A and B are shown apart, each in its own frame.
Chain A
Amino acid sequence: MSLEMKHVFYTYQEGSPTESHALQDICLNINEGEFLGIVGHTGSGKSTLIQHLNGLLKPTKGEVLIDGININQKEAKAKRKEVRLKVGLVFQYPEYQLFEETVEQDIGFGPRNLGLSDTEVQERVKEAMALLKLDYKTLRKQSPFDLSGGQKRKVAIAGVLAMKPKYLVLDEPTAGLDPRGREEFLEQLAVLHRQGMTIIMVSHSMDDMAKYAQRMIVMDHGQIQLQGTPQDIFSQPEQLQQIGLDVPSLSRLLLRLKQRGLDVRTDLFDIEAVKTEILRAMAAREGKLTC
């Protein structure tokens, strides 16, 4: 079972003078259980791509298959809901979707649409709030509009998590969170991933990508320019820089050291591993010098 895009094209405002080709010939296969990272500069088509993954946008040309269901076909209309429930989509700035009187009701909106019983809905809400470190007791009766920006963001994300989707797609979920909240949130995502959820995340942070993604795609002008493991991608810093992107800060450090003549590996992203590597390389050089 997988999400598949075959030669997908998407054009906004087709036929008008303002039309823009947001996606061009995208071929992508996302397997169950993966953690896929999507990067690309502003306007490269990331948000457009992920909206195809649950049928909110239909390709202008090409096919999208969600666990084998072709979202283009007529009979997919009956399965539209099924598709939407399989793939949970957290939008860029999801706090715009809040509308209920209390946090609890808002997070429960999705599960209620699934037709779950009241106790089940409550269970789901509790679980989702716990995942995002939102305190159920103090927040449940509050109005979502009285929360801070970051809390709103978390409530909105909890609203999608509470539906327990098989595939979770997130569009820049950490933008606007403080460093600690961001770290905690990503750790929780990693936990969900280990429990078997497929995660697809759009992010501008190469550091996060290096740390969490198993596979990455790099978008540029509506096309997939590079794809592979973070190691593969970040070992091509020139290509990334050409399309206006950067490598993670640790890779940048290692690359600079290498430029200055220190013989280090440049494919490490974990701070501990990098530290050991630098110490090793320095020790090796000292050794050479003393010989």
Chain B
Amino acid sequence: MLKDITIGQYLSGDSFLHKLDPRTKIIAVILYMVSLFIVNNFWGLGAMLVLSLAVVLISRIPLRFFFRGIKAIVFIVLLTVALQMFMTPGEPLWELGILKITKEGIRQAVFMGTRLILLVSVTSILTLTTTPISLTDGIETLLKPFQKIGVPAHELAMMMTIALRFIPTLIEETDKIMKAQSARGADFESGNLMERAKAMIPLLVPLFLNAIKRADELALAMEARCYHGGDGRTRLKALQYGRRDAVAGVFCLCMAAGAFLTRLL
């Protein structure tokens, strides 16, 4: 189960999307999200669906990665769909006591469900085709202009880099401690809610202690190598826009404009 977490996973490859500048990809994802929520009729939603499929194909990432990502949020999707279906006021189609399904409800449910699934799939393309390092580099450069108004761009990016770096380590460690405690007869899989919560103590205590210790050591190691924040730091690989970024950028602007136009339909 722990292995299903795909956030921050990167899959190396050399597709068009892998080669794009991370800044382009981040902006593209933002434009995509906006477009996804601008469209409000089925034509628009259908177009977004086709577009997303095309992007998935271009990325050349095996489909099962997307299914796994969707599996992880299946509960949230179902909950959203159910809430929309039953809570939206309007023309009732079916009624049972206080439960009623309306025509508007079904429409809303389809919209929200599709949007959520598309959102998760396309954002996971961002992380699947971009190494964490270039992703945070991209974020840092994009945030640079906001430094004037006090946004600590470099520090935020560094924090993100570190957090992303340690997700797999923490998952691995959880697995290891869980095994060690199971070998001592700990039971993580049965019992009622209270018992299960209590069974987590032997897992969480070592996990947190190790994480804190590791953070300490990391800080020390960074300081030992004279790390002192972002001022005056240069890069080995400076980010550079290329022709394909222009292509992708124009394409995304067209998408956003198109999304606006479908509203007028």
Query: A residues within 8 Å of B by Cβ?
Result: 13, 17, 51, 54, 56, 81, 84-85, 88-89, 91, 94, 96-99, 109-110, 113-114, 145, 159-160, 163
Q: Which of A89, A98, A114 contacts B183 (CB 8 A)?
A: A89
B210 is an interface residue with CB less than 8 A from chain A: yes
Given contacts A97-B206, A99-B201, A99-B206, contact A110 B185 (CB under 8 A): yes
Query: What is the distance, in angstroms, from A241's C-beta to the closest C-beta of chain B?
Result: 32
Pick the 8 closest A-B CB pairs, nearest first.
A113-B185, A99-B205, A97-B180, A110-B184, A89-B183, A99-B202, A56-B179, A91-B180
A/B interface sample: 6 pairs, CB < 8 A: A81-B187, A84-B185, A91-B183, A113-B184, A113-B187, A145-B209
For B181, list chain A residues within 8 Å (CB): 97
**Nearest chain A residue, comparing its CB with the CB of B208:** A99
B206 near A91: Cβ-Cβ < 8 Å:
no
For A113, list chain B residues within 8 Å (CB): 184-187
* A91 vs B183: C-alpha distance when bound (angstroms): 9
A96 near B184: Cβ-Cβ < 8 Å:
no
Q: Which of A56, A91, A98, A163 contacts B185 (CB 8 A)?
A: A163
* A109 vs B173: C-alpha distance when bound (angstroms): 20
* A160 vs B180: C-alpha distance when bound (angstroms): 10
A51 near B177: Cβ-Cβ < 8 Å:
no
Query: B residues within 8 Å of A by Cβ?
Result: 3, 11, 173, 176-177, 179-187, 201-202, 205-206, 209-210
Given contacts A13-B3, A17-B11, contact A160 B183 (CB under 8 A): yes
Please name 10 further chain A to chain B contacts, defined as beta carbons within 8 Å, in addition to the given A17-B11, A84-B182, sorted by A numbering.
Answer: A56-B179, A84-B183, A88-B183, A96-B177, A96-B210, A97-B181, A97-B206, A99-B206, A110-B184, A110-B185
For B183, list chain A residues within 8 Å (CB): 54, 56, 84, 88-89, 91, 160
A159 near B206: Cβ-Cβ < 8 Å:
no
Query: What is the distance, in angstroms, from B36's C-beta to the closest C-beta of chain A?
Result: 29
* A114 vs B206: C-alpha distance when bound (angstroms): 22
For A54, list chain B residues within 8 Å (CB): 183
Query: What is the distance, in angstroms, from A53's C-beta to the closest C-beta of chain B?
Result: 10
**Nearest chain A residue, comparing its CB with the CB of B179:** A56
For A85, list chain B residues within 8 Å (CB): 185
* A94 vs B179: C-alpha distance when bound (angstroms): 11
B184 near A160: Cβ-Cβ < 8 Å:
yes
**Nearest chain B residue, comparing its CB with the CB of A111:** B185
* A84 vs B209: C-alpha distance when bound (angstroms): 26
* A114 vs B179: C-alpha distance when bound (angstroms): 17
Interface of B is mostly: helix
B187 near A96: Cβ-Cβ < 8 Å:
no
A114 near B185: Cβ-Cβ < 8 Å:
yes
B179 near A91: Cβ-Cβ < 8 Å:
yes
For B182, list chain A residues within 8 Å (CB): 56, 84
* A94 vs B210: C-alpha distance when bound (angstroms): 13
For A88, list chain B residues within 8 Å (CB): 183
For B179, list chain A residues within 8 Å (CB): 51, 56, 91
**Nearest chain A residue, comparing its CB with the CB of B184:** A110
* A252 vs B179: C-alpha distance when bound (angstroms): 38
Query: What is the distance, in angstroms, from B116's C-beta to the closest C-beta of chain A?
Result: 25
**Nearest chain B residue, comparing its CB with the CB of A12:** B3
* A89 vs B178: C-alpha distance when bound (angstroms): 13
Given contacts A85-B185, A99-B202, contact A91 B209 (CB under 8 A): no
Query: What is the distance, in angstroms, from B176's C-beta to the closest C-beta of chain A?
Result: 7
For A96, list chain B residues within 8 Å (CB): 173, 176-177, 180, 206, 210
B185 near A94: Cβ-Cβ < 8 Å:
no
For B184, list chain A residues within 8 Å (CB): 97, 109-110, 113, 159-160, 163
* A163 vs B201: C-alpha distance when bound (angstroms): 20
Query: What is the distance, in angstroms, from A167's C-beta to the closest C-beta of chain B?
Result: 12
Q: Which of A81, A94, A145 contacts B180 (CB 8 A)?
A: A94
Given contacts A13-B3, A17-B11, contact A81 B185 (CB under 8 A): yes
For B186, list chain A residues within 8 Å (CB): 109, 113
For A110, list chain B residues within 8 Å (CB): 184-185
**Nearest chain A residue, comparing its CB with the CB of B199:** A113
* A159 vs B179: C-alpha distance when bound (angstroms): 14
For A109, list chain B residues within 8 Å (CB): 184-186, 202
**Nearest chain A residue, comparing its CB with the CB of B209:** A145
For B180, list chain A residues within 8 Å (CB): 89, 91, 94, 96-97
Query: What is the distance, in angstroms, from A218's C-beta to the closest C-beta of chain B?
Result: 25
For B201, list chain A residues within 8 Å (CB): 99
